[in-house]
Structure 1
Amino acid sequence: MLFEPDLSTPYLREAARLRDAFAVDAVAHDQAGGRPLDQLRLLKDSGLLRLTLPRAFGGEGQPWSTALRVGREFAKADGSLGHLFGYHCSSQHAAHVRGSPRQAEALYRASAEGNWFWANNANSAARSLLGKWQGDHWLLNGSKPFTSGSHIADRVHITWIDEDSGRTLDATIPADRAGWRALDDWDAFGQRQTGSGACRYENVRVEAEEVFERTGPADAAYRTLTPFIQQSVLLNVFLGTAQGALLAARDYTVNESRPWVHSGVERHVDDPWVKRVYGDLYTRTLAATALADQALEVLDRVWEKGDALTAAERGEASITLAAANAFAGNTALDVTSKIFEVTGARSTARGLGLDRFWRNVRTHTLHNPEEYKTRNVGYWFLTGEPPVPSGIQ
């Protein structure tokens, strides 16, 4: 099958099985939105939620490249699930990047044992959540926007502002903590099951031991890799969505599309225009896949370096990732839009759900502007200076 993963790898074989299961009712789930509880149950049963946890602590010990290829497979059927799985993996490692080895080990073990699904409630750009130290614990009040996965999470990575000092703190809390709730108010036209709306905090207690103990300099290169992971999640959601849309459109064209009245051919697939459009979209998707796979290799390499990672190595890696991300996003937007030119008016039927691919990519790319990625790459090409690490890079 075109764009099929390496099925000799058991984790990708399981991802392909789940992808096919998700595809059965992906259109209905997209139209309904809300909480993907059926899909979450399948994910938990698969064991893939432990994929990147270290083997020593009960996980599978797989690299980021494997996890992100799993998310890519899910996105072929449902971009929301690729997004949620990737952000789950990212949040699992929050203590490893931002806390102490002791905290990371404890959370790894607990996550593996509990088969936790994690969510990201740590949008550092939002200063709408404040905390007050109460002598032996923190008390949090306010809200946080763009909290993907919080509506179905077992555990949540959070950040807040100390209202006395103004500094940002990190912690993890269980999703059933008193006073914390996901509003489940996400109403965008795409990524409709991600729960990426707001969360409310009303006198939420955070214990001292739940707060991350930062070790070493906060600006060390390795401590700035969280945006790399998040951008890699988006990159592979873009790519998986493009691949899934192209395959779905091909099947419709082969089996359902009628030739244009002025085409002079009896079969739609024999129309030179149709051939050229599919050839172009397939070629560009292949190129995006190659760039994405290169970026995965780079991510694995910088992650494995740990505290030994240098700023120069991080800067070089950021260019590879930015280029792949920008190209995949633009490719996915073109693929998910142009397929309609060669599938025909009947392919816009709501029941087919081909529009979900474009809606998901368009929604996601607006949170991840290609313009700034491309400028970073261009400036590096001209000057040799990589972009400065930031929470949204």
Structure 2
Amino acid sequence: MTTTAPAPDPTAPAPAGAPGRAHWLRVAREVAEDLATDAITRDQAGKPPFDEVARLREAGLLTLLISAEHGGGGADWGTAHAVVREVAAADGAIGQLLGGHYVLSWTARFFAGPDLAERVARRSAAGQWCWGGGFAAHEPPLRLTPDSSDGYLLNGRQGTVGGARVADRLAVRAARSDTGEPLAVLVDPARPGVTSGDDGDAFGQRLSGGGSVEFDAVPVPGDAVLGSLSADEGALPPFAGLAAATGRLVSAQLCLGIAEGVLAEAREYTRTREYTRAGDRSLLGDHPGVGLPSWQDGLARDPYVLVTYGELTVDARAASALADQAVAALDGGLARGEDLTDDECAEISVLAAAAEAAAARAVHDITTRTLDVIGPGAASSRHGFDRFWRNARTHTLYHPVAHGLREVGDYFLSGAHPPFALPA
């Protein structure tokens, strides 16, 4: 069984000299405002997000979760979740990139021993690494073959690798060629034998930097094997089971950020847009017999519009409240460390699955129905309202909630603990 690396207590005050939650939320808002200024242009260009990663690095957000003692921001996961939501409201793709970085950068915390986890944290802080990778369960694992130098050789291909084109380190799942044991492996993508593919053809999340990666006899030192990912009973402590819950709650924050972002932009559009019959005819087409809806002459006071915004606000706030409850439970579980029990892990995991499902449903509804209340103007690419729907839909294709809902139902009916899972 892996010895759990100690997690910071989220209820403890920030260490002397370490910035607090208010500081990081202010930084996140500043970054979000910066990203919002050219979000539409960058989305349409679809270039690898090197500049965006540089903005996150300069703001100190990449080292947010590393302790101040090890050279990082010293923040807790509650703060990290809030930061992801803030950034996602301005740019869902960069919110996904940042959220994935946070989850993967904690791989050593979840699966390695304390000494290795500390060394990895120090190196990550010193290099201000942007983490990418993933442990996609729908793909066969990579192959890790022991060699004569007390290290390994990594071979294989993964088609879904978060941040593949911009990451400084990749955390991936590989199976030992001799035993079949699944392991978490840290890889420097600059090493010979690592080739990243440009798979930037997705209709959404174009700036998340994802893609495929091939590994051809890539040397892996022994201390780059972070720990076992085995689902066998007793192989890992309950604390490691929080990895999946952490990933699900990052997914929920991303969905909530996108939902809040489109609502904010739609509200501004509705408040300030001057509708004229001539302007609306230019969008609908000047066809005889085509009438204009009377509500467009007073969009901001139309009862249909007001009711729809009311319903969407309730959806967003309800999902947000559930996510906040789950984040608080996760913070408590992380603080428990080695003392976390299987029952406590199960409760947190189910709550995280419920929060992700609620957020996914909310963002689907909100990003669709805001287009309806905006009207024909939503079809104009210059306003970029479509990017919110595209980003949300693309994200949830990679993070389907069906398995989580099944776990919630099974736990509710029979008290069954969710099976061990890896963060998506």
TM-score class normalised by the smaller sequence: over 0.9
Alignment of 1:94-109 (within 5 A): 94-109=107-122
* Structure with bigger RCO (C-alpha 8 Å, 6+ apart): 2
Mapped to 1, the partners of 2:366 and 2:111 lie a distance apart of 38
Alignment of 1:353-368 (within 5 A): 353-368=384-399
Say if 1:221 and 1:314, in contact at 8 Å, map to a contact too: yes
State the percentage of identical aligned residues.
35
Mapped to 1, the partners of 2:421 and 2:227 lie a distance apart of 20
Say if 1:98 and 1:214, in contact at 8 Å, map to a contact too: yes
Partner in structure 2 of residue 232 of structure 1: 249
Partner in structure 2 of residue 3 of structure 1: none
Alignment of 1:188-203 (within 5 A): 188-203=202-217
Q: Using a 3 Å threshold, how does the CA distance of structure 1 residues 314 and 264 change in structure 2: closer, same or farther?
A: closer
Alignment of 1:157 with 2:188, yes or no, is no
Q: Any unmatched runs of 5+ in structure 1? A: 1-6
Say if 2:143 and 2:154, in contact at 8 Å, map to a contact too: yes
The Cα shift of 1:209 comes to 2.4
Instruction: Give the letter for the 1:232 counterpart.
Output: L
Mapped to 1, the partners of 2:84 and 2:261 lie a distance apart of 12
Mapped to 2, the partners of 1:124 and 1:208 lie a distance apart of 24
Partner in structure 2 of residue 141 of structure 1: 155
Partner in structure 2 of residue 91 of structure 1: 104
Partner in structure 2 of residue 275 of structure 1: 306
Instruction: Give the letter for the 1:168 counterpart.
Output: P
Instruction: Give the letter for the 2:152 counterpart.
Output: W
The runs of at least 4 consecutive aligned structure 1 residues that moved more than 6 Å come to: none
Indicate the SS of the match to 2:211: coil
Instruction: Give the letter for the 1:316 counterpart.
Output: E
Partner in structure 2 of residue 251 of structure 1: 268
Say if 2:104 and 2:134, in contact at 8 Å, map to a contact too: no
Which of 109, 120, 125 is the matching residue for 2:133? Answer: 120
The Cα shift of 1:257 comes to 5.8
Alpha carbon RMSD of aligned pairs, Å?
Answer: 2.1
In the superposition, the TM-score normalised over structure 2's length comes to 0.87
Instruction: Give the letter for the 2:101 counterpart.
Output: H
Partner in structure 1 of residue 22 of structure 2: 9
Partner in structure 1 of residue 363 of structure 2: 332
Partner in structure 2 of residue 308 of structure 1: 339
Partner in structure 2 of residue 288 of structure 1: 319
Which of 55, 63, 69 is the matching residue for 2:68? Answer: 55
Mapped to 1, the partners of 2:129 and 2:21 lie a distance apart of 27
Mapped to 2, the partners of 1:347 and 1:127 lie a distance apart of 41
Indicate the SS of the match to 1:386: coil
Instruction: Give the letter for the 1:183 counterpart.
Output: G
Mapped to 2, the partners of 1:79 and 1:262 lie a distance apart of 32
Which of 42, 46, 52 is the matching residue for 2:59? Answer: 46
The Cα shift of 1:340 comes to 1.1
Mapped to 1, the partners of 2:227 and 2:407 lie a distance apart of 32
Instruction: Give the letter for the 2:172 counterpart.
Output: I
Say if 1:162 and 1:169, in contact at 8 Å, map to a contact too: yes
Q: Which 10-residue stretch deviates more, 62-71 or 155-164?
A: 155-164
Indicate the SS of the match to 2:175: strand
The Cα shift of 1:133 comes to 1.3
Say if 1:123 and 1:145, in contact at 8 Å, map to a contact too: no
Instruction: Give the letter for the 1:270 counterpart.
Output: R
Instruction: Give the letter for the 2:125 counterpart.
Output: A
Mapped to 1, the partners of 2:107 and 2:401 lie a distance apart of 26
